[in-house]
């Protein structure tokens, strides 16, 4: 564990939790200053606990970006929700994030019940204030503050960055004193192999309709530097779907959609790695994988 010579240094773990599609991943990427967590307008984009490190003078915050908490209707969603809830028990502070512009009463009720069962300090971030009239904001803050003893309630816009530094200041106040957990240049504990698979999955989300994303998993079959071509990384990835009709949608007419997914993913992976990438995508039907316990474990949903 790296030591810091600075006195009164603070360091700790914070779980970002909230309903689906409230901007948790957007906030994490904003605070880090680099994209490590995939985003889309579709809910439940994040399925795993994504860890990101934010450094500020005198403090290091290790954020856990969790999947959206919602009423699970399938084995896959049940594991996703369990992942999010378990993170709340492993951290120093809980950052609850909700969408001020579009409340989700059912998911918010689940979260309030979960908060009652833990004793960690909680800060509330009301996100997307850029989308609502400011005159209603104070009333919304009062409504939330009267229902739970939050240490602070901070209205923010993860999209524009408004009040994000104020939110960080409030979080740092609650951090325990201690040495940094990671070197300053360390942004995440996730391997680039995992991040590459997440980038491919994000592009599937962005290129397909409402049905497809939730039936998709991505596995990385090959990830290695080309021995004969320095500066070139070869990646083979398989997009797993549940039905033949979904495979056809992802491939598209004469392979056009799969080609766009591959091109978009390759460019982003190249930016992440800082090298040229040869990306080969395959699409495989694995019947009802999201309802099969063995398949869920194989694809990393423990």
Does 222 reside within a domain? yes
Tens-digit pLDDT string for the chain (302 aa): 444 445 689 999 998 888 888 888 889 889 988 777 756 554 454 445 667 899 999 999 999 877 655 454 555 555 655 665 666 667 899 999 999 998 878 777 777 777 777 788 999 999 999 998 887 888 888 888 888 899 999 999 999 999 999 999 999 999 999 999 988 888 887 788 888 998 998 899 888 866 565 678 899 999 999 888 988 999 999 999 988 989 999 999 999 999 999 999 999 999 888 889 999 999 999 888 877 778 777 776 65
| CATH code for the domain in which residue 246 is found | 3.30.300.20
Instruction: Assess whether 225 and 162 both reside in one domain.
Output: no
Our count of domains for the chain comes to 2
Print the domain residue range for 258: 192-298
Q: Could you tell me if residue 266 is inside a domain? A: yes
The pTM of the full predicted model, rounded to 2 decimals, is: 0.68
Dihedrals phi, psi of 300, to nearest 5 degrees: 95, 10
The verdict on 18 and 150 lying in the same domain is yes
d(CA 94, CA 13): 9
In a domain, 118, yes or no: yes
């Amino acid at each position: 564990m790296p030591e810091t010579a600075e006195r009164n240094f603070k360091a700790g773990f914070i779980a970002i939790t909230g309903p689906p599609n409230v901007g948790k991943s957007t906030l994490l990427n904003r605070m880090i200053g680099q994209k490590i967590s995939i985003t889309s307008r579709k809910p439940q984009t994040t399925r795993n606990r994504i860890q990101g490190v934010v450094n500020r003078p005198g403090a290091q915050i290790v954020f856990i970006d969790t999947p959206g908490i919602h009423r699970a209707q399938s084995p896959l969603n049940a594991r996703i929700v369990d992942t999010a809830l378990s993170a709340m028990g492993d951290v120093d502070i809980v950052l609850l994030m909700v969408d001020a512009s579009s409340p989700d009463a059912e998911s918010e009720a689940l979260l309030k019940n979960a908060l009652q069962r833990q004793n960690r300090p909680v800060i509330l971030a009301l996100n997307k204030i850029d989308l609502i009239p400011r005159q209603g904001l104070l009333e919304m803050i009062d409504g939330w503050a009267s229902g739970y003893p939050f240490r602070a309630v901070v209205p923010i816009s993860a999209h524009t960055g408004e009040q994000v530094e104020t939110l960080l200041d409030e979080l740092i106040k609650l951090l325990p004193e201690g040495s940094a957990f990671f070197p300053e240049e360390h942004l995440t504990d996730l391997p680039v192999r995992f991040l590459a698979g997440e980038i491919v999955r994000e592009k599937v989300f962005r290129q397909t309709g409402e049905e497809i994303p939730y039936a998709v998993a991505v596995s990385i079959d090959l990830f290695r530097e080309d021995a004969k071509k320095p500066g070139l990384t070869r990646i083979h990835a398989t997009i797993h779907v549940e039905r033949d009709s979904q495979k056809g949608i992802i491939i598209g007419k004469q392979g056009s959609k799969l080609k766009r997914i591959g091109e978009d993913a390759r460019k982003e992976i190249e930016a992440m790695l800082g090298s040229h990438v040869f990306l080969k995508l395959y699409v495989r039907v694995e019947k009802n994988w999201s309802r099969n316990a063995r398949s869920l474990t194989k694809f990393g949903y423990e």
